[in-house]
Amino acid sequence: MKILLVEDDPTLGDAVMLAVRQAGFAVDWTRDGMQADSALNDYVYDAVLLDLGLPRREGLDVLRRLRKRGATLPMMILTARDSVEDRVRGLDAGADDYLLKPFALDELLARLRALLRRAHGVADTEMRLGRLCFDSVGRAARIGDALLVLSARETEVLEILLSHAGRVATKEAIADRLTGWDEGVGENAVEVYIHRLRRKLDGSGIAIRTLRGLGYMLEATP
């Protein structure tokens, strides 16, 4: 899953981006309202973490414009504006949650997971193939009852492969999904993550098949 963070404070933005990535999500970070508008027009996100006091365009304006276009993705406001009137304005503009600064990163992550569960429905957050079950919100994968111990990147690659189950996922598509604006993931790195996943899936009845010149396919084996 990919999250858009809209925050102009560099210290807070760094901390939130790191925490969300460590929780297993891909993150793009924009620092003003105009950039946020462009990102929401050009890319697909699963949720947005939105500051209100932004340069160039207010966070509430970004939120209203998004809802006016009919977008329903979950939006959480992150702000120091703590009056009842501010909260009412934010929620009436289309926010799904309102978190006051300063906040604990653990609470932010818990609220983000709750937003995603509500948006997708609990059943829709689980992806299955054979004995493999992946919780896209909880960022946990199991083979039967056994938990797979995966890094954040391995988790993201597994989710991408599962979303393409029965179809080919190209290296380019995987690298693009893994890449945030502040980092690059090349095709060589994708090969490393695939190799690590293969080792962890060995003997599980789930295999990653390489189709030369095309990409990878996740499949259940007899």
Judge whether residue 180 has pLDDT over 80. no
pLDDT of residue 127: 87
**E strand or H helix that includes residue 123:** none
- Residue 46 near residue 2, CB atoms below 8 Å: yes
The per-residue pLDDT for 137 is 81
Q: What is the pLDDT of residues 98-143, one digit of tens each?
A: 999 999 999 999 999 888 888 876 556 788 899 999 988 888 999 9
Residue 150 has pLDDT above 80, yes or no: yes
Q: pLDDT, tens digit, for every residue of 40-65?
A: 998 889 899 999 999 999 999 999 99
Summary mean pLDDT of the chain: 89
Pairing of β 140-143 and β 132-135: antiparallel
Domains in the chain: ranges and CATH: 2-120 (3.40.50.2300), 124-220 (1.10.10.10)
The confidence score (pLDDT) of residue 187 equals 74
pLDDT tens-digit series, residues 66-77? 999 999 999 999
Letter string b/e over residues 29-62, b meaning 16 or more CB atoms within 10 A of that residue's CB: bbbbbebbbebbeeeebbbbbbbbebeebebbbb
The percentage of the chain sitting over the pLDDT mark of 70, rounded to a whole number, equals 95
Residue 210, pLDDT above cutoff 60: yes
The pair of three-digit structure tokens given for residue 135, joined into one six-digit string: 């919780």
